[in-house]
């Protein structure tokens, strides 16, 4: 999942909140489960409108609880000097996006542990409200919603404490393993393997549930296990990639002095003299020696062929500026972030409006391969965070 996907909902405590489009799937499922299953079964005799209202309020407050869980991680991470780009709610809950990992096992322990603790506090608050509502004779729909939110947040805390990376429990395990071994990468591998094992276990449980007649519930457990297995592997791969790229700058991986085109060049000449001759997918655009944009083959293909002689590169290019490019000293992690935002998949490197180079995913891949060959898979981890374990 792209951390910049979906749409921006707003900002809380200085953290950008985004909603991934997959979030709507779980929103509808939870709403349907509450409105058509849980509440009618436990509080019979109410109207369909009441059940729907209970389901809607319960679902919204559940996701507010998930947001509070992620905010607790983000606040503590920021207090430890770790930049937090924002929070994204998606199909399986939420995630706080950070640029850096914890500097010490103690920081990792605190950042990971505060999430389940926040969920336990929220569970206690909703449970207390349900008890108080029952004592005061508050209407059953209000009590029912509060009681189930208490149960859901308790389940959320327990599930997140399972020792499988990237769950909070897996991160707690990683912090302990990191402290004992002194090797973050080795600890991450152990925790990720635990996450994969947990994922396979849940998948097996889901299959058994399906054959036992659980139907949708079994499929849901199977789906969660499949997602966790994949997330564990992806999280370890991301950690190794960060190790490899730590300390690497845009100037290290860029293609210097790339082939360029002028803004006034007609599209027919652009295709004939550049795209067909060099087989590149994009070209930086210069005007008067200054960088003004990036033109891609995909952009040209959108223009009717019969108009290519009358249209110029400036008509179809993506305009750029120094703010839209990266400097030669920019970390490659920043380049990767920029690459996710750019449809062309290429990042321009410039200083004071002058083009220095261009970076594609292939450039970064080549640098990683070269680094591994030169260092014999013994990758030095910059910043004092240990040595990558191949």
Q: For residue range 232-271, list pLDDT tens digits in order.
A: 888 888 787 777 777 888 888 888 888 899 999 999 999 9
Same domain, 241 and 254: no
166 upstream amide cis, omega within 30 of 0? yes
CATH number at 282 reads 3.10.580.10
Dist. CA 80–CA 277, nearest whole Å: 52
Same domain, 42 and 92: yes
Residue 120 counted as domain residue: yes
Residue 232 counted as domain residue: yes
Which is it for the CA torsion 207, 211, 212, 214, positive or negative? positive
Same domain, 13 and 74: yes
Provide the residue range defining the domain that includes 14: 7-245
Each residue's pLDDT tens digit, 266-298:
999 999 989 898 888 889 999 888 888 888 888
Same domain, 110 and 41: yes
Distances in whole angstroms, Cα of residue 43 to Cα of each of 27, 35, 176, 311, 330: 22, 11, 45, 67, 59
Residue 309 counted as domain residue: yes
Percent of the chain with pLDDT over 90: 30
pLDDT value at position 132? 93
The answer to whether 100 and 83 are in contact (CB under 8 A) is yes
Residue 238 counted as domain residue: yes
Dist. CA 41–CA 19, nearest whole Å: 31
Same domain, 236 and 281: no
Same domain, 39 and 150: yes
Instruction: Give the chain's domain count.
Output: 2
Residue 25 counted as domain residue: yes
- DSSP class of residue 306 equals G
The answer to whether 303 and 367 are in contact (CB under 8 A) is no
**Catalytic annotation, pick one of 42, 70, 101, 108:** 70
pLDDT value at position 92? 63
pLDDT value at position 2? 44
Is residue 374's pLDDT more than 70? no
Is residue 310's pLDDT more than 80? yes
Nearest-5° Cα angle at 227, 222 to 230? 125
Domain boundary among 224, 245, 266: 245
Domain boundary among 184, 219, 245: 245
Each residue's pLDDT tens digit, 200-243:
998 999 889 888 877 667 787 888 888 888 888 888 887 877 77
Half-sphere exposure of 260 (CA within 13 A, CB side): 22
Domain boundary among 191, 223, 245: 245
> Torsion-angle region of residue 384: left (phi > 0), alpha (psi -120 to 50) or beta?
left
- The dihedrals phi and psi of 141, each to the nearest 5 degrees, come to -60, -40
Q: Which residue has the tokens 């914890």?
A: 102
Same domain, 260 and 207: no
Active site annotation includes 70: yes
Mean per-residue pLDDT for 141-152? 91
Same domain, 281 and 184: no
Residue 304 counted as domain residue: yes
Residue 90 parent element (H or E): strand 84-90
How many C-beta neighbours within 10 Å does residue 366 have?
Answer: 13
Residue 285 counted as domain residue: yes
Q: What's the pTM?
A: 0.71
Same domain, 192 and 310: no
């Amino acid at each position: 999942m792209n951390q910049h996907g979906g749409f921006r909902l707003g900002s809380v405590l200085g953290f950008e909140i985004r909603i991934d489009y997959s979030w709507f799937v779980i929103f509808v499922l939870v709403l349907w489960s509450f409105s058509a299953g849980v509440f009618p079964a436990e509080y019979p005799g109410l109207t369909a409108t009441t059940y729907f209202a209970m389901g809607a309020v319960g679902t919204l407050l559940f996701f507010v609880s998930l947001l509070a869980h992620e905010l607790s991680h983000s606040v503590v991470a920021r207090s430890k000097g770790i930049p937090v780009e924002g929070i994204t709610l998606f199909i399986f809950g939420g995630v706080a996006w950070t640029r850096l990992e914890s500097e010490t096992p103690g920081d990792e322990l605190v950042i990971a542990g505060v999430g389940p603790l926040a969920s336990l506090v929220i569970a206690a608050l909703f449970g207390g409200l349900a008890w108080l509502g029952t004592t005061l004779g508050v209407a059953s729909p209000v009590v029912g919603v509060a009681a189930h939110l208490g149960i859901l947040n308790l389940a959320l805390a327990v599930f997140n404490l399972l020792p499988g990376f990237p769950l909070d429990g897996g991160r707690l395990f990683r912090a302990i393993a990191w402290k004992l071994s002194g090797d973050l990468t080795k600890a991450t591998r152990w925790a990720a393997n635990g996450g994969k094992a947990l994922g396979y276990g849940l998948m097996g449980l889901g299959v058994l549930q399906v054959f036992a007649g659980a139907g949708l519930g079994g499929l849901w457990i199977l789906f969660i296990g499949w997602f966790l297995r994949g997330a564990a592997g992806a999280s370890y791969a991301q950690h190794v990639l960060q190790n490899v790229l730590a300390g690497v700058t845009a100037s290290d991986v860029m293609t210097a002095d790339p082939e360029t085109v002028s803004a006034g060049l007609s599209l027919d000449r652009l295709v004939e003299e550049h795209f067909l001759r060099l087989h590149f997918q994009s070209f930086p655009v210069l005007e008067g020696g200054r960088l003004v944009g990036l033109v891609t083959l995909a952009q040209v293909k959108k223009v009717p062929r019969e108009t290519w002689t009358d249209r110029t590169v400036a008509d179809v290019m993506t305009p750029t500026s120094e703010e839209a490019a990266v400097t030669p000293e920019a970390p490659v992690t920043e380049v990767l972030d920029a690459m996710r935002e750019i449809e062309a998949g290429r990042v321009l490197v410039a200083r004071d409006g002058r083009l220095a180079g261009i970076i594609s995913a292939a450039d970064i891949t080549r640098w990683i391969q070269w680094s591994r060959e030169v260092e014999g898979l013994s990758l030095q981890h910059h910043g004092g965070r240990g040595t990558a374990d191949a």
